[in-house]
Chains A and B, each alone.
Chain A
Amino acid sequence: MTAILETKSVTMQINGATLVDGIDLQVKSGEMVAIVGPNGAGKSTLLRLLSGDLRATRGNVRLKQRDLHSYPPSQLANHRATLSQHVNVTFPFTVEEIVHMGAGDMGTVAARPLVDAALNEVAISHLRYRQLPTLSGGEQQRAHFARVLVQLARGEAEHGPGLLLLDEPTSSLDLRHQIELVEIAGRRARDGTAVIAILHDLNLAVRFADRIVVIHRGRIAADDVPERTITDELVRDVFEVEVAIQHHTDGSPILLSQLMQPIRM
Chain B
Amino acid sequence: MKRTTLGRVLALPAAAALTFGLVACGSANEQGDNTGGSGEGSGLSGTISGAGASSQEAAQQAWQAGFIGQNPDVTVNYDPIGSGGGREQFVSGGSDFGGTDAYLDDEELAKAKERCGELVEIPTYVSPIAVIFKLDGVDQLNLKPATIAKIFNQQITKWNDPAIAADNPGVQLPDTAITPVNRSDESGTTENFVEYLKATAAADWPHEVSGDWPVQGGEAAQGTSGVVQAVSNGNGTIGYADASQAGELSTAKVGVGDQFVEYSPEAAAAVLDVSKRHEGRGQYSYAYDLARDTTEAGTYPIVLVSYGIACANYDNAEKAELVKSYFNYIISAEGQKASADAAGSAPISDQLRQQIKPAVDAISAAG
Q: Do A and B come from one complex?
A: no
